[in-house]
């Protein structure tokens, strides 16, 4: 089983100081206000608009979030020749003296006066604030929430942060994947041990916490929610969320909790973007885009007949939508689809129907192991040998395909051995040898190891007084981060897959091996 961030081809109790920090968690009102401060969006989905300058140009509130100008801690930031104001309650409730011309002195702010400043751009003395300060239009409820959070600004510290520790958690798979879970736990423990032995992050040691996934998505969400609350988790890294994507992503969004390098086949990158989640590699949908790009280049100006045979389930329907969209972009307009019920694959009937289209290329989205080879066996009986395109997640048993499909089967992989540098391999092998890591589930270990490296890099780029938001913003600024084991990782404000693209590999059935047939493909 290959997961996004896994598709790699491979030869104690809380300390008293953390408990003390968490004695005064934010109220629901303050949590909603924090979202407005950092993101300029309402938890209830209500519209927030910022009016800019004397002309009152209106832009969405998320483009002018308070933290953008005033900083994560509200102390103000220097931008050009101007320093934005200190928004901490301690500062706001003192008489303020402006040094700019003309000199202005005004009484302290209170709730009502602060509301007027936010919505009307007027200070307590009735003077207009600088034109750079937007005037916000938002509901009374959102305004109350924002003011509530501003009273905590400056003293608010995220869960899991103390003067000497950071609490990091992960989700482990269970059941048939329990061995993978133990491998993930082992490599994460080993890597964090090395980081802590070198002084940790700004003299804070990392304390690991683990929670096991439940039997259902709902049970997993409930268990993880309790875990986050009871263990005061600052961030999650290398967490197994395959099958629980929607539940866990909704939870981390609600909590504002960074989720770095989750193990999943299906990164969720649709709008609105989940800011908290950072994926390492492309999943099935993004790999499908790379396959479409590759097929379009293969056929050149010829407009090939393309068939998509897919099992009906939500994930395949999402991938089908991506294939249709990318096909239109790449000019592959003649696309026929053939659906079958999940776990009810009729190879004879589906192959017969697909052949009637005289398809040059067939994209197969199966639901069970063996379906891909069964389709090709039936196609051979019909003397029909179209090019077959599948994702690496469906590669199990592919060398049993009939000989007529030699080098006619194409798979997408999110990374390849060419990405592995000598130093990157040596670093991982040294860690594995020193800590006696299991020699199984190596792909999962490498994915978790890289996720942990990204987390540590993000923390090192953050301020010495870390917050979840500072970690998110530092990861957003990451460009071409070299892991030594994958393509370079780049994130951005609107990009949450670090290595966005894939390689295309063909299958040499005579030699029983994979053969690279493309450079890195980053879909248009």
Residue 365's CB is within 10 A of a number of other CB atoms, namely: 26
Q: Give me the pLDDT at residue 335, please.
A: 87
pLDDT at 157: 81
Contact of 309 with 363, CB cutoff 8 Å: yes
Angle at alpha carbon of residue 396, lines to 392 and 397, rounded to 5°: 135
**Mean pLDDT over residues 135-153, rounded?**
94
Q: What is the DSSP string of 320-362?
A: HHHHHHHHHHTT---EEEEEEETT---HHHHHHHHHTTT-SEE
Find tokens 């913003």 and name the residue.
Answer: 473
The angle formed by the CA atoms of residues 193, 197 and 201, to the nearest 5 degrees, is: 90
Cα–Cα distances in angstroms (integers) from residue 112 to residues 35, 143, 386, 433, in the given order: 21, 11, 71, 63
pLDDT in tens, 324-380: 999 999 988 778 999 999 888 999 999 999 999 989 999 999 877 789 999 999 999
From residue 346, alpha-carbon distances to 382, 385, 452 in Å are: 15, 19, 43
Confidence of residue 74 (pLDDT cuts 50, 70, 90): confident
pLDDT above 50: residue 15: no
Instruction: Please determine, for residue 100, whether its predicted confidence score (pLDDT) is greater than 90.
Output: no
Q: How far apart are CA 210 and CA 284, in angstroms?
A: 27
DSSP letter at 481? B
| Strongest mean pLDDT among 154-163, 308-317, 509-518 | 509-518
For the chain, the residue count is: 524
The reported pLDDT for the residue numbered 101 is 41
- Report pLDDT for 158: 87
Q: Is the pLDDT of residue 382 over 70?
A: yes
Q: 3-class DSSP state for residue 310?
A: strand
Q: Name which residue leads in pLDDT, 80 or 196.
A: 196
Window from 33-37, 149-153, 253-257, 331-335 with minimum mean pLDDT: 331-335
Sign of the four-CA dihedral 179, 448, 506, 366: positive
Whether 335 and 388 have beta carbons less than 8 Å apart is answered as no
pLDDT confidence of residue 81: 66
Relative to beta strand 335-341, strand 503-508 is unpaired
Q: What is the pLDDT of residue 215?
A: 92
Rounded CA separation 80/65 (Å)? 19
More confident residue, 19 or 423: 423
Instruction: Give the C-alpha separation, 472 to 495, whole Å.
Output: 12
* C-beta separation of 101 from 15 below 8 A: no
> Residue 489: helix, strand or coil by DSSP?
strand
What distances in angstroms separate CA 360 from CA 90, 105, 404, one per listed residue? 70, 77, 14
Q: Are 261 and 450 in contact (CB under 8 A)?
A: yes
* Range in 98-112, 175-189, 409-423, 478-492 the model is least confident about: 98-112
pLDDT higher than threshold 80 for residue 1: no
- β-pairing, 277-281 with 259-260? parallel
Q: pTM for the complete prediction?
A: 0.80
Task: Please say whether the beta carbons of 489 and 280 come within 8 A.
Answer: yes
The percent of residues in the chain predicted with pLDDT above 70, rounded, is: 93
Predicted local distance difference test score (pLDDT) of residue 132: 85
C-alpha torsion angle, residues 182, 22, 25, 237 (rounded to 10)? -20
Instruction: Reply yes or no on whether the pLDDT at 57 is more than 60.
Output: yes
d(Cα 260, Cα 263) in Å, to the nearest integer?
A: 9
**What's the burial of 243, exposed, middle or buried (CB within 10 Å: 0-12/13-18/19+)?**
middle
What lies within 8 Å, CB to CB, of 321 at 6+ separation is none
State the number of CA atoms in the 13 A half-sphere of 314 facing the CB: 6
CA distance 36 to 42: 6
Residue where the block lists tokens 């047939």:
517
pLDDT band (50, 70, 90) for residue 315: confident
523 and 501 in contact (C-beta within 8 Å)? yes
Round the CA-based radius of gyration of the chain to a whole number and report it: 26
Q: Mean pLDDT over all residues of the chain?
A: 89
Q: Residue 296 pLDDT more than 80? A: yes
**Residue 480 pLDDT exceeds 70:** yes
Q: Band of the pLDDT at 103, cuts 50, 70, 90?
A: low
Q: Are 138 and 46 in contact (CB under 8 A)?
A: yes
Q: Which of 141, 132, 134, 105 is nearest to 118 (CA)?
A: 134
Please give the structure tokens belonging to residue 195. Answer: 């980081």
Q: In whole angstroms, what is the distance from residue 519 CA to residue 524 CA? A: 15
Q: pLDDT at position 53, please?
A: 82
Are 166 and 160 in contact by the 8 Å Cβ rule? The answer is yes
């Amino acid at each position: 089983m290959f997961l996004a961030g896994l598709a790699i081809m491979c030869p104690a109790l809380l300390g008293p100081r953390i408990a003390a920090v968490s004695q005064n968690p934010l109220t629901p009102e303050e949590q909603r206000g924090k979202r407005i401060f950092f993101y300029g969006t309402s938890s209830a989905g209500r519209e927030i608009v910022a009016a800019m300058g004397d002309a009152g140009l209106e832009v969405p509130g998320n483009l002018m979030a308070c933290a953008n100008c005033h900083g994560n801690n509200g102390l103000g930031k220097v931008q050009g020749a101007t320093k934005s104001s200190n928004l901490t309650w301690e500062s706001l409730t003192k008489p303020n003296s402006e040094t700019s011309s003309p000199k202005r002195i005004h009484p302290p702010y209170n709730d009502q006066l602060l509301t007027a400043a936010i919505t009307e751009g007027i200070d307590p003395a009735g003077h207009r604030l600088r034109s750079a300060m937007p005037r916000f239009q938002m509901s009374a409820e959102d305004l109350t929430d924002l003011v509530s959070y501003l009273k905590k600004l400056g003293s608010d510290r995220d869960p899991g942060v103390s003067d000497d520790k950071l609490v990091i958690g992960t989700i482990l798979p269970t059941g048939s994947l329990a061995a993978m879970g133990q491998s993930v736990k082992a490599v994460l423990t080993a890597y964090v041990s090395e980081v802590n032995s070198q002084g940790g992050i700004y003299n804070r040691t990392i304390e690991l916490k683990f929670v096991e996934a439940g039997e259902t998505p709902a049970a997993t969400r409930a268990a993880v929610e309790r875990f986050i609350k009871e263990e005061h988790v600052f961030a999650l890294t290398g967490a197994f969320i395959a099958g629980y994507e929607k539940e866990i992503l909704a939870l981390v969004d609600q909590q504002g909790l960074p989720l770095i390098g989750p193990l999943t086949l299906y990164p969720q990158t649709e709008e609105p973007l989940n800011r908290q989640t950072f994926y390492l590699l492309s999943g099935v949908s993004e790999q499908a885009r790379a396959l479409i790009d590759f097929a379009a280049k293969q056929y050149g100006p010829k407009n090939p007949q393309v068939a998509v045979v897919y099992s009906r389930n939500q994930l395949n329907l999402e991938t089908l939508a991506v294939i249709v969209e990318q096909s239109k972009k790449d000019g592959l307009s003649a696309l026929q689809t053939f659906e079958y019920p999940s776990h009810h694959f009729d190879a004879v009937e589906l192959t017969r129907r697909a052949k009637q289209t005289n398809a040059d290329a067939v994209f197969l989205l199966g639901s069970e192991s063996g379906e891909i080879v069964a389709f090709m066996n039936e196609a051979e009986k019909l003397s029909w040998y179209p090019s077959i395109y599948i994702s690496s997640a469906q590669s199990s048993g592919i060398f049993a395909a009939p000989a007529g499909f030699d080098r006619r089967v194409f798979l997408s992989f999110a990374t390849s051995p060419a990405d592995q540098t000598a130093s990157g391999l040596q670093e991982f092998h040294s860690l594995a040898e020193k800590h006696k890591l299991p020699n199984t589930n190596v792909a999962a270990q490498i994915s978790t190891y890289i996720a942990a490296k990204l987390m540590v890099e993000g923390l090192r780029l953050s301020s010495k007084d870390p917050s979840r938001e500072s970690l998110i913003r530092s990861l957003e600024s990451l460009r071409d981060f070299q892991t030594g084991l994958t393509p370079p990782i780049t994130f951005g404000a609107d990009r949450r897959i670090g290595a966005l693209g894939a390689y295309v590999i063909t299958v040499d059935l005579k030699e029983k091996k994979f053969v690279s047939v493309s450079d890195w493909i980053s879909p248009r």
